[in-house]
A and B are shown apart, each in its own frame.
Chain A
Amino acid sequence: MALKDYLRQRFFPHMWCPGCGHGTVLNSLLRAVEQLGLSKNEIVMASGIGCSSRISGYVDFHTLHTLHGRALAFATGVKLSQPELNVIVPMGDGDALAIGGNHFIHACRRNIDITAIVMNNRIYGMTGGQFSPMSGVGINATTAPFQNIDRDFDVVKMATAAGATFVARSTTYHAQQAADLIKQAILHEGFSVVEILSQCPTHFGRKNKQGAAADMMERYKDITVPVGSKKKAENPDLIERGIFVQEEAPEYCREYDKIIAKAMKG
């Protein structure tokens, strides 16, 4: 199927700002779905609130646009009732790790077969550039006019510690890799987390003097290295990308089926 056939083209051009990385994440996601040969009917996308979460309005899958931070709870319900469907949950860093932090770690712990995509622009884009748990020390934001003193989370470490069985990271510069990682995450049976560094030129970029969208993407090239690269040992500030965790563990829906079978026996 052609890429654009997966879109609700009547809503285009989309609402994202010029150069917003979230559009490139959408682009990568569509490529993953197309390469897997999935039909629109086999996919459910549940999202919360944020610029990132608006992605569910643009794809012609089964979609739910839900509450800020709570998309994983809705997705869990959908997956438990229709386990044969592929459930994808795109989230902003605020959506996933501030208001939705608890849902996030517990979804990881349960290992339910859902694909979470964290579209990390390190700021609250939709509400005007407040700092998020991913902004980090020294970042300028509307709510940190004298720079942020809060340390940031490492989503990869957090998802790993919480029990996610597929954990990966890429960036909008590495859009081809991002598509490949999303593809593998969808195929993985268990909870998958793919973090994609995604530029918000309008708020994060402007407040932190990082230039135009293309400059911010150039930066992703400079500050990231493939997992296991020697460069990381020499410079710990570099951010690794690739697959960090890929392991098998009992999947939640299957375990739940066993409980149902037990209960039915009486």
Chain B
Amino acid sequence: MAKKKLKQHHIDRDWCKGCGICVHFCPKNVLELDDMDKVFAARPEDCIACKLCEIRCPDLAIEIETE
């Protein structure tokens, strides 16, 4: 199976509570919290679309769309 490539991070800013779980566990250091404590993809080009952020998010606030 070919590796999936990232198309886009979908982040629901209303649902995200800024807990930092996705930021902490991202293996490629892609994510950061902004000054409103909402997550954003600071370095999307480094994302390997492993979906670890999506799977662990307690608020179902982040989704990885692949190509």
Contacts and interface: CB of A to CB of B under 8 A. Distances in A.
Nearest to B51: A176
Interface in A1-58: 3-4, 7, 12-14, 16-24, 26-28, 30-31
B55 A19 contact: no
B62 to A, nearest CB: 10
B59 interface: yes
Nearest to B14: A13
B55 A176 contact: yes
Interface in B3-50: 14-15, 17-21, 23-25
A7 B25 CA distance: 25
A217 B21 contact: yes
B60 A16 contact: no
Interface string B56-67: 111111000000
A27 B19 contact: no
Interface in A162-214: 172-173, 175-176, 179, 212-214
Interface residues of B, number: 17
B55 A13 contact: no
A212 B20 contact: yes
Given A13-B14, A19-B17, A213-B19, A27 B25 contact: no
Given A19-B20, A214-B25, A175 B56 contact: yes
Interface of A: 3-4, 7, 12-14, 16-24, 26-28, 30-31, 172-173, 175-176, 179, 212-214, 217-218
Interface of B: 14-15, 17-21, 23-25, 55-61
Given A12-B60, A16-B59, 17 more contacts: A3-B60, A7-B60, A12-B15, A13-B17, A13-B59, A19-B21, A23-B58, A23-B60, A24-B56, A26-B60, A27-B55, A212-B19, A212-B20, A214-B21, A214-B23, A214-B24, A217-B21
